[in-house]
Copies of this chain bind each other. A is one copy, B any other.
Amino acid sequence: MKAEKRKDLILACSKKLFAKQGFYRTQISDIIDEARIARGTIYQYFKNKEDIFVSLLEGAYAQWEQAVSQAVAAIDLKTIKPVDYFRLRIQTTLEFLLADPDICSIVLSMGFGLPEDLEKATRKLESKIRDIAVNDFMLGIHNNHVRKNINIDHAAEMIAGAAFRSAYYMQKKAKTGDRADIDTMTDEIVNLLAPGIFLPESLKL
């Protein structure tokens, strides 16, 4: 149990540093200073610096999956209105991203200039968010709630972009991430995007 604590400590400190300085500018020295551990200790828990990074993102990915499935479990899919379903998705995503703003920064800011493995890990979370949006769109079109001429992939891409950007915006504006802020932010996103997505009659429900 102590060991797990240690590993988590390293992950927590690394996350903070990666978020602030990125992968390359974060040195092993920074991490051990932050975690107040010895140089060698890191290598008892992680194969190398890349391994820390990948572990971090995979942890975040697991948390995200749990958050999404919890959110869906809490609603009645039979009666929920399309726009409210959309709103819930946005809200869940924002909550998750703001609960872990460092991961949000890392995913947002880590670019193409990473070794293949890290790149892949970084994009996994993003692409999963996109995939869910794609699924929702297909269902919405099938149920006659979403306009038929929408380019699903492109729209999903833009919505993912808008969500991440909003989370980034909240951080930048030093929004606290509490319920009120998230609700306001969610409303703004929904107000901006819903009219372009849903058919008028669905919107009026």
Contacts and interface: CB of A to CB of B under 8 A. Distances in A.
A71 B193 CA distance: 27
Nearest to A162: B158
B169 A165 contact: no
A46 interface: no
Interface in A126-175: 149-151, 153-155, 157-158, 160-162, 164-166, 168-169, 173
A13 to B, nearest CB: 16
Interface stretch (A1-9, A23-31, A56-64, A73-81): A23-31
A168 B130 CA distance: 14
Interface in A9-68: 18-26
Contacts of A165: 157-158, 160-161
B193 A113 contact: no
A106 B65 CA distance: 30
Interface string A107-118: 011111111000
9 contacts: A18-B113, A22-B111, A108-B111, A111-B111, A149-B191, A150-B188, A151-B188, A154-B166, A154-B185
Contacts of A113: 18, 20-26, 109-110
Contacts of A150: 188, 191-192
A46 to B, nearest CB: 17
A112 B192 contact: no
A133 B22 CA distance: 29
A194 B21 CA distance: 36
A191 B195 CA distance: 9
Contact of A169 (B18, B26, B110, B154): B154
